[in-house]
Amino acid sequence: MIPLRRMKFLLFLASQMAIFILFILVYSHNDNSLQVKEEPKSPHMHVLVLSSWRSGSSFVGQLFGQHPDVFYLMEPAWHVWMTFTQSTAQRLHMAVRDLIRAVFLCDMSVFDAYMNPGPRKQSSLFQWDGSRALCSPPACNLFPRDKIIPQAHCRILCHKQPFKVVEEACRTYSHVVLKEVRFFNLQVLYPLLRDPSLNLHIVHLVRDPRAVFRSRERTTNELEIDSHIVMGQHRQKLKKEDQPYYAMQVICQSQLEIFKAVQSLPKALRQRYLLVRYEDLVRDPLGQTARMYEYVGLKFLPRLQTWVHNITRGKGMGKHAFHTNARNALNVSQAWRWSLPYKKVFRLQKVCRNTMNLLGYHLVTSDQEQKNLSLDLLSTWSPYELVYQEG
Ligand SMILES: *[C@@H]1O[C@H](CO)[C@@H](O)[C@H](O)[C@H]1NC(C)=O
Ligand SMILES: *[C@@H]1O[C@H](CO)[C@@H](O)[C@H](O)[C@H]1NC(C)=O
Ligand SMILES: *[C@@H]1O[C@H](CO)[C@@H](O)[C@H](O)[C@H]1NC(C)=O
């Protein structure tokens, strides 16, 4: 008789085999797409999705990352911050900038400074499985390159790949897109905008600070280390209940400075900047995605259009995208209006007023106004048009 323990082990093995075969069956009907594309002819494009926490940047990252011409990484500078948790955002700025530059150029040796020595896997990278490029050839041969790949499937099947495939994969793409929430001014990026080896384009994603505040309240623990770094030494002088407002003040101020700094750039550089409001994206996902793709020279392939249509209506992708239908996403983007007490909104508006005025988020002056959903608080003028028209 087979001992029970071995029996369990054999059953485990059999179930793993079954899962594996299932994946092969699901994904193997398109063998041609398993081949690596030849060197792309278009010039390289380096796109920085510049945003803040809880502002929809993971969603925007996915919009880019699922495109077959894009090598995408989410928050590579997380590794810098988590190595220096007692530091401040300002002190880490240059290290973050230099890391971003190296990654844009597919030089992944830069991570040596922030990872443990010894053999590593591609799964050592923060949120690696959110990158379709790391789930398809040449990084991982189990999925075709031109399919939408669910994160959970990739995590199971591609996590054993060695770290060197990250660099190999990166070099086969025309576009490298990085998402970062760890920049607090534009000046730190000037050297990259001028760098002749880079073709940097910035997508600046902003969201109504009141919605951000509410979302941050619900993820306080997850954001604790980051928030400490954002507040720096100033945190020790603050009472605990004042800290969230101070963190938002820093974030609003930096959004404002970035937006303002763009206006004083030479015209040629100003065209390397695109402002996207999350609320506009929620109201018109296809239109805004088309706008972002066009800006960075990506074709909005028909199957990607269907995919964007699907995920913004609650099909596929699960909790890693909108996971509600478009009407609900709109509703969710307004949730602060009935769930945040006016007292908090009032206080937050005081520290974020200038940013809100500039980005087109109307202030509310009473609890009644806040709860009155027939009042549209998003200004219809488009801040990005302002950027292009002024001179
Ligand atoms: C979109 O949804 C439809 C219906 O559920 C499905 O048949 C189709 O495969 C989906 N397409 C993509 C690209 O996700
Ligand atoms: C939005 O959500 C809130 C809370 O869940 C609900 O009370 C409200 O009826 C919803 N509104 C719409 C238009 O769906
Ligand atoms: C809500 O706002 C609309 C549009 O400004 C206004 O006509 C209406 O009277 C307001 N309702 C309440 C209850 O204040």
CATH number of the domain at 141, please: 3.40.50
Higher local confidence (pLDDT), 390 or 238: 238
For the Cβ of 263 lying below 6 angstroms from any atom of ligand 3, the answer is no
Query: Residue 316 C-alpha to ligand 1 middle, in angstroms?
Result: 8
* pLDDT tens profile 115-145: 998 899 999 999 999 999 999 999 999 889 9
Cα distances from 204 to residues 230, 298, 383, in angstroms, run 19, 17, 12
Question: Which tokens go with 390?
Answer: 């002024």
Residue from 370, 372, 375 whose mutation best tests the ligand 3 pocket (most atoms within 8 A of CB): 372
Query: Residue 310 C-alpha to ligand 1 middle, in angstroms?
Result: 6
pTM for this model (two decimals)? 0.86
Mean pLDDT, rounded, for 47-64: 94
| Closest of 308, 318, 335, 115 to residue 217, by C-alpha | 335
In Å, how far from its chain's centre is CA 341? 29
Look at the chain and report how many structural domains it folds into: 1
Residue at 154 is within a domain: yes
Residue at 18 is within a domain: no
* Phi, then psi, of 173 in degrees rounded to 5: -115, 150
Question: What pLDDT sits at residue 382?
Answer: 59
Q: Which numbered atom of ligand 3 lies nearest the CA of 369?
A: 14
The answer to which of 66-80, 156-170, 259-273, 373-387 has the lowest mean pLDDT is 373-387
| Closest of 147, 141, 154, 130 to residue 73, by C-alpha | 130
Mean pLDDT, rounded, for 164-176: 97
Nearest CA residue ID for atom 11, ligand 3 = 372
Beginning with the edge strand found earlier in the chain, give each strand of the sheet holding 273-277 in spatial order: 70-74, 175-180, 45-50, 200-206, 273-277
Residue at 261 is within a domain: yes
Q: Which numbered atom of ligand 3 lies nearest the CA of 368?
A: 14
Higher local confidence (pLDDT), 256 or 311: 256
Question: What pLDDT sits at residue 31?
Answer: 40
Checking if the pLDDT of 34 tops 70, the result is no
For the Cβ of 366 lying below 6 angstroms from any atom of ligand 3, the answer is no
Percent of the chain with pLDDT over 90: 73
Q: Which amino acids bring their CB within 6 angstroms of ligand 1?
A: 148, 303, 306-307, 310, 315-316
Residue 126's domain spans which residues?
45-388
* pLDDT tens profile 312-370: 776 544 444 444 445 567 777 889 999 999 999 999 999 999 999 999 999 999 999 99
Higher local confidence (pLDDT), 181 or 23: 181
Checking if the pLDDT of 21 tops 70, the result is no
The answer to which of 17-21, 72-76, 181-185, 206-210 has the lowest mean pLDDT is 17-21
Which residues, in sequence order, are bridge partners of residue 201? 47
For the Cβ of 375 lying below 6 angstroms from any atom of ligand 3, the answer is yes
Q: Which ligand is nearest to the CA of 374?
A: 3
Q: Which numbered atom of ligand 1 lies nearest the CA of 303?
A: 13
Query: Residue 284 C-alpha to ligand 3 middle, in angstroms?
Result: 25
Mean pLDDT, rounded, for 157-178: 97
Question: What pLDDT sits at residue 380?
Answer: 82
Residue from 306, 307, 312 whose mutation best tests the ligand 1 pocket (most atoms within 8 A of CB): 306
Checking if the pLDDT of 151 tops 90, the result is no
Q: Which numbered atom of ligand 1 lies nearest the CA of 304?
A: 13
Checking if the pLDDT of 378 tops 60, the result is yes
- Alpha-carbon distance 183 to 180, whole Å? 7
* pLDDT tens profile 177-233: 999 999 999 999 999 999 999 999 999 999 999 999 999 999 999 999 999 999 999
Residue at 12 is within a domain: no
Residue at 28 is within a domain: no
Query: Residue 145 C-alpha to ligand 1 middle, in angstroms?
Result: 18
Residue at 39 is within a domain: no
Residue at 8 is within a domain: no
Residue at 344 is within a domain: yes
